[in-house]
């Protein structure tokens, strides 16, 4: 029986010779290759413990974008502005689709509001602005 205040090293030294003999026996039989130290230390460099910091968790959860900020800014600059006429034509196609296939009254009411918006835009473009509107 080992007392908790007595050193333990003395008892383990007895087993060290037996372990070395067993290791040599297994090596001779071709069961194990390499030294016992290599076998025991094979996983020392593996990260098996520890928890991530909050910052590491956040960084790992954000999808990595391979594009640089300059490339995405260039793509934004390459977009051509849409004219009122192009927007109106695209909306008219959408409106036709809704009327022919969807036939949802709420969606058709929203389309009517868009029609009103485009009509208002068209009328504003036709009216000449007062000269004081340019000097605010």
Per-residue pLDDT tens digits for 111-133: 899 889 888 888 887 777 777 77
Mean pLDDT confidence for 81-110: 87
Give the predicted TM-score (pTM) of the model.
0.38
d(CA 119, CA 108): 16
| Average confidence score pLDDT of the chain | 76
d(CA 118, CA 4): 89
pLDDT in the model for residue 63 = 76
pLDDT band of residue 69 (cuts 50, 70, 90) is low
Q: Residue 94: how many CB atoms within 10 A of its CB?
A: 13
DSSP codes, 63-100: PPP-S-HHHHHHHHHHPPPPPHHHHHHHHHHHHHHIII
């Amino acid at each position: 029986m080992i007392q908790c205040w007595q050193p333990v090293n003395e008892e383990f030294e007895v087993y060290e010779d037996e372990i070395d003999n067993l290791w040599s026996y297994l090596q001779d039989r071709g069961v194990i290759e390499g030294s016992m130290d290599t076998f025991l230390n094979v996983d020392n460099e593996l990260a098996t413990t520890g928890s991530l910091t909050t910052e590491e968790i956040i960084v790992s959860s954000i999808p990595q974008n391979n594009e640089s900020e300059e490339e995405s800014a260039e793509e934004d600059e390459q977009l051509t502005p849409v004219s009122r006429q192009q927007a109106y034509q695209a909306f008219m196609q959408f409106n036709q689709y809704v009327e022919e296939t969807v036939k949802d009254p709420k969606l058709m009411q929203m389309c009517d509001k868009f029609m009103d918006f485009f009509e208002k835009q068209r009328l504003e473009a036709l009216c000449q602005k007062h000269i004081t509107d340019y000097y605010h």
